[in-house]
Structures are given as structure tokens and as C-alpha cells.
Amino acid sequence: MSQGHALSDDQVAGELRKMTAFIRQEALEKAREIQLKADEEFAIEKSKLVRQETAAIDSLYEKKFKQAAMSQQITRSTLANRTRIRVLSARQELLNDLFERARAKVSQVASGDKSKYQDVLRGLILEGSYALNEEKISVRAREKDYDLVKKAIEDAAKEFKEKIGKEVTVDLDESNPLPAESAGGVVIIGGRGKIEIADTFEERLRLLEIDALPAVRETLFGKNLNRKFYD
């Protein structure tokens, strides 16, 4: 059995230095590993945060862009509607003025050339006689037109017989005259009082406004390119 030798102080100090150096080296390497791992994790986390913030900023600006685009579209639409309403309003005012002037001219027909007005009355009575095609009808008119209407009735009855081949009796209903402020014309009654044909100038003009309005609009303003359906 060999006997161990005790280490000298120098030897012990040398061993301690070696161990200290080894431990320091291990610690330095471990610290480097930890630092590298920390840097790597930091870089990963930083990249993740940057991507998240970038996505959030992109989403925010996309939302703001959509809101701005929508606001701009609403503004354009509002302005376009206001302009369209102004144009339609101006057009309607022009049409109203046009038909108002037409009403004023129509009211002058009865107060103008009496022979022409009598011929117009004859045509209206004859038209009503054709439409009703009855043996006996009655006519309402303005009281101040009675003399002209009576002559028009005679001419209309004569022409009706010539063209249809049978007589028609047309009575002037003097008990129920048309309003004095009426522009003129007549109302023809048949079917034992149940059928009434309004052939007054006001009614004729009203029907003309309805029937001729599309043509008048096209003449004044051109074709409506947005219109898809036609009667």
C-alpha cells in the first residue's frame, strides 16, 4: 500500500488556479450561449412585434382609406343627386310654365273668332256622338256659348246622319251649365245620364299634358339615355 504525499502550498495554489480558470471558461462560454440565445429570442420577438404592428398599421390605414373612399363616394352621390334634383326641378318649372301658357292660349280660343269656335264645338259634339252612338244625347256648355252650341248641334247632327246613316237627337241641357270661368268646350252625356264625356278645353289640355309629355320632354331636353322601358 503506497502512502500518499501531501501537496505543497504551491501545488494547491496551482490546482486552484486551474480549477478557477476552468470554471471561469465554462462560465464565459455559458454566458455567451445565454447571450446568443437571448439575442436570437429578442430578434424573433422583435420581428414578431414589428410584423404585428405593421399589420395593425396597414389594417388601420386600409380602414381609413375605405372610410375616406366611402365618404368621397357619398359626397359625390349627394352632389350628383342635388344637381339632378335641381335639373329636374328646373325642367318641371319649364314644363309647368309651358302648359300654363298653353292654358292661357286655350282660354282665348272661345273669345276669339266665333265661327272657328263654333266649328270646334261642332267637332267635339260630333266626336261624342260617334263615341256614344246613341239615338239621343245631351250637351252641357257655358251659358254664354248657348247660341253657338245650338248651331253646332244642328251641324253635328246633320253630319252624323250623313256619315252614319241614322239620326241623333242632341239636346242642350240649359239647366246645368258649365262654370262661367271654364275655358270652353262641352260635356256630352249619354247612357241615360250615366255616361259623361268631358270635351272641355281644360280636360283636352289635361289629357294632352299626359299623352304628349314624353314627346315634349324629348323635344326640349333630348332622349333620356337612362330610360329602359317604353310604353
List pLDDT tens digits, range 194-212. 899 999 988 888 888 777 6
Would you state the pLDDT for residue 1?
43
Q: Are 197 and 182 in contact (CB under 8 A)?
A: no
Beta carbons of 57 and 49 less than 8 angstroms apart: no
pLDDT (0 to 100) of residue 7: 73
With cell 363616394, the residue in question is 73
Residues 206, 201: Cα–Cα separation, whole Å: 8
Residue 129's contacts (CB-CB under 8 Å, 6 or more residues apart) are: 137, 156, 157, 160, 168, 170, 188
Q: Which of 111, 116, 104, 123 is closest to 199 using CA atoms? A: 123
pTM, to two decimals: 0.55
Q: What's residue 148's pLDDT?
A: 95
Dihedral angle over CA of 185, 191, 195, 199, nearest 10: -20
User: Could you say which residues of the chain have pLDDT below 70?
Assistant: 1-5, 212, 224-231
Largest pairwise CA distance in the chain: 169
Angle at CA of residue 74, ends 77 and 226, nearest 5°: 25
Please give the pLDDT value at position 220. Answer: 72
pLDDT of amino acid 16: 83
What whole-number distance in Å separates Cα of residue 50 and Cα of residue 45? 8
Report the pLDDT value the prediction gives residue 110, as an integer from 0 to 100.
75
